[in-house]
């Protein structure tokens, strides 16, 4: 009732505002380091964690998983 699904229905992704999708590739510069040591970049202001990348690296990445507020990627070059 009134938009509450109380976990009984699976939410769809129509409200997902992520500007990236799984499998897409981007050329990026790593801007920061996450707490687990992953590189961090932003695509259209959207945070992407890049495993194995270091601050200052300019790399091509492939999105491996996209969530509502952030994504994970791997270096492809």
pLDDT mean across residues, the chain: 86
Residue 4 confidence (pLDDT) above 70: no
Tell me if the domain spanning 25-75 has CATH number 2.40.50.140: yes
What does the pLDDT average to over 3-12? 48
Query: What does the pLDDT look like over 40-56, one tens digit per residue?
Result: 999 999 999 999 999 99
Give, in degrees to the nearest 5, the angle at Cα 61 between 37 and 22.
105
Q: Is the pTM of this model over 0.85?
A: no
What does the pLDDT average to over 27-47? 97
């Amino acid at each position: 009732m009134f938009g509450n699904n109380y976990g009984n229905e699976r939410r769809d992704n129509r409200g997902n505002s992520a500007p990236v999708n799984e499998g897409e590739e981007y050329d990026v510069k790593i801007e920061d380091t996450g707490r687990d040591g992953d590189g961090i970049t932003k695509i259209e202001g959207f945070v992407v964690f890049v495993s194995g990348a270091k601050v200052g690296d300019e790399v091509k990445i492939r999105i491996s998983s996209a969530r509502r507020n952030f994504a994970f990627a791997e270096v492809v070059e």
